[in-house]
Structure formats: structure tokens, C-alpha cells
Amino acid sequence: MRQAASPLHQTIQSNYIKSTTTGCTDSTKVRDGVRELVNRLLSCKHTPNGYPAVVVDQPCLLERKLNALLDRGIGAFQVVSDFDHTLSKFRHNNISVPITHGVFYASSNLPPTIKQRWEDTLEFYLPIERDLNMPDVKKAPHMVEFWNKAHDLLVQANLHQSLMKTMMQHSRIVLREHVHTFLHLLREHRVPVLVFSAGVGDIIETVLEQEDLCSDNLRVLSNFMDFDSEGILTGFRSPLVHMLNKTIRDLPELQKLCCFPDPSTLLLLGDSVADTRMVDEQHVPSEVTLKIGFLNEPGDESLALYKSIYDVVLIDDETFRVPLMILELLLCAPNPEEAKDNKPTS
């Protein structure tokens, strides 16, 4: 059951109704709710590590983008989101939540030799992946090697499809609080959702199915497994999706699965620097693309970078509270066509 609207959302909705019935869709009252939301984000408390819970580097730009999204309405709205540590939590009950690749390597069904080789692979490649100063052109070949080795090790384990399905069903992946409400509202209003991940698509779909979150409006673009006639894992389908090529522009094989009609507006959600490039201006203009980034391991250097590329940065936040507030704000605004119908004739 959908929760009752908060006083903020009721105020926004009331202002929109008043403005559209009078034909004044750009009135100060209409914008007050947006400004109030931005002010609330700016006044959020600090986290235990001393960083603010929400960082907005350019409040005026955020306000303009929110107003642009409201002007075009929910009918033009789309969502593109990363999965690992974006839709899923980074920590749950003070325990790290695995990424999708990690589900298999954490399983007791994996041979110890394969596990050790995986640990060695992580030890070598993770520092490269997390190096904020290494240029992408230098990092990219390492990331291709990293992902290919991760997949090759799983193939070498000779895992059967039924066993892998059991591993997936018993993963310790936990979705962020309010993700269910967020995705259910998007389903209800037929908003297109693209889950774009460099992880394992089979696991993502399993988690979403278990949570009753699969629907016609939601599509997963990721790395999917291939099995032979006997059910043994033989590899992963092409194209390989890794952290640095996870952009629709660089994966032409996937472009036919994506559709951004004009005029589209976009909410982009991620937890890495590369996630901001999942969709570029070729598909949706930056002025109507709102980017929210989850900074799960904050530091001065990473925060400075994140706030320069994301419109809103959420620090140590294991919830989807802020994206949900923005979605509910959009749902308060009438469809632009309805607003035209309500406008009085002169």
C-alpha cells in the first residue's frame, strides 16, 4: 500500500493544482515546493564520520533541473540505475554486502583453488579500479582483463546451472530501503527503468524476481551467463560490460534495446565515477538529466570529485529516501497535456 504523502509533497501538489487551474504554470508558488526540497537536502545532518549526509555543490542548478523535470512531466521521465551498491546496499547490519560477482566467489561450493585465485585477482586489480587519478585510457585494458579473469575462473569451476541458481537464490544481496516503493511507483506509472550493470545480469534478475520487482517497464543490461546442453557454465555473452565501457554510446550492440524519445528527462543513479557516463548528451540533454551518486566510502578526494560530477551526493546512506522524494515530487505535477486542458481560455 502506498504511504500517505508527506506535508512537503502535499504542499507541492496543492501549489501545482492552484497554478494550473489559473493558467499560471510558472508561478512562484509552483516553485516553492522544489525550493523547499532543495533546502531540506542542504540542511541534512552530518554522518558519524563527519561528512554531511547530502552534498549539493550547485543548489541553483539542482533547482533548475528539478523544475525542468516537473515541466515535462512524468510521461517524459526515465530512470537509469547501476545495481551493485546503488540499488543494493553497501552494508547491512554493519556487514559488507557482496557485489553480484562476489556471490559466487563467497559460496562454499566453489573449489578452494578457484577462491584463492580470485583473491589474488582482486588484490592486483582492485587498487587499479579504485585509483581516481589513473586516466581511463590507461585503466581500461586492466578492467577488460579483470572482468575476463573473473568470468574465466567461474568457467574453470565447472559449475552447473542448478547449483549456480541455488547460489543466486541464497545470496546476501540486500536492496536499499525504499527501493521497493520506488520501483513499484515507477511500474505503476509505466516509467521506463534501465538497470545498467557491469555485474552479473542473472543474479540481478534473480534478486529482482525474489523481491517481486520484475515488470514490463524494467530492463536489465549486464553480463549474462551461457550454459551448454548439459547445464555447465561455458562463458558469458557478448558484449563484455565492464566499469569503463558501461555507457550506451560505447556498446552499440545494446543501443537497440534503449529508447530515449524527445523530449525525455532522466534520473541517473550510480555509485562510481564511471556511472555518470551511462547515458550522455547524445541521448538526453544534461539540463534535464539529474544525477544522484552514492558515496559509500567517503574521503576528501572522492567527495570533491563526486560533487563535481553528480548533482546530489548521498554519503553513507543505505536508503533510497532521496530518489523516492524526487519521484514523489514529480508525481505531484500534472501531465503537461492535462495542464493545457485545465488552462482557462481567454
Which residues are the active-site residues?
Answer: 82, 84
Closest CA to 312 of 56, 44, 41, 43: 56
The CA distance from 224 to 250, in Å, is 18
Task: Characterize 315-340 residue by residue with b for buried, 16 or more Cβ atoms within 10 angstroms of its Cβ, and e for exposed.
Answer: bbbbebbbbbbbbbbbbbbbebeebe
The CA distance from 255 to 253, in Å, is 6
DSSP classification of residue 134? S
Environment class of residue 116 by beta-carbon count within 10 Å: exposed (0-12), middle (13-18) or buried (19+)?
A: exposed
Q: Which three cell numbers stand for residue 229?
A: 546442453
CA atoms within 13 A on the CB side of 94: 0
- Within 189-230, where are the H helices? 201-210
Q: Using CA of residue 205, residue 242, residue 183, residue 320, what is the dihedral sign? A: positive
Q: Which three cell numbers stand for residue 341?
A: 486542458
The CA distance from 251 to 175, in Å, is 27
Count CB neighbours of 216 within 10 A.
8
Cβ atoms of 268 and 279 within 8 Å: the answer is yes
